[in-house]
Amino acid sequence: MRIMGLDFGSRTVGVAISDPLLITAQGKEIIRRDRPDKLRQTLARIEALITENEVTQIVLGYPKNMNGTDGERVEKTKEFMEMLERRTGLPVTLWDERLTTVAADRYMMEVGIRREDRKGQVDKIAAVFILQGYLDYKKNEEK
């Protein structure tokens, strides 16, 4: 059993997968598309990753504003969530993604990844932060 974390953006989806014990999240890949409304190939790739990794649940980043209100991407994210549920049959949990991109960028700076290389990796690292936050929450909830 593994959980998949997704950072859904207008042209990319960062993907992270948990280990089988649901302790750590690892960045898997970034799925890119040419247009924001072209999701068929994105969904097909997510389905393939679900099968390859025996995923049983999806955690999707929820783009709230810093003040807790719904951001402009919320509606698109909810639509994507419904597509994921319909297409995969898996439960999808929305998880607050505030500051994950900032944290991902900061992390890459700290480990010495050059600026021009960071842009290509930030969505995958943000997906790791989303999923790891969820895993940590679930672990603490069990105590």
Question: Does residue 38 carry a pLDDT above 90?
Answer: no
- The span from the CA of 78 to the CA of 62, in Å, is 8
**Do 3 and 55 meet the contact criterion of CB atoms below 8 Å apart?**
yes
Q: Averaged over 28-53, what is the pLDDT?
A: 93
Residue 122: per-residue pLDDT: 72
pLDDT at 99: 60
Q: Where are the domains of the chain?
A: 2-142
The answer regarding whether domain 2-142 maps to CATH 3.90.1150.10 reads no
pLDDT average, residue stretch 12-37: 93
The strand order across the sheet containing 55-62 reads 25-32, 12-18, 2-8, 55-62, 92-96
pTM of the model: 0.85
pLDDT in tens, 85-127: 999 999 999 998 866 666 666 665 676 666 666 565 778 888 9
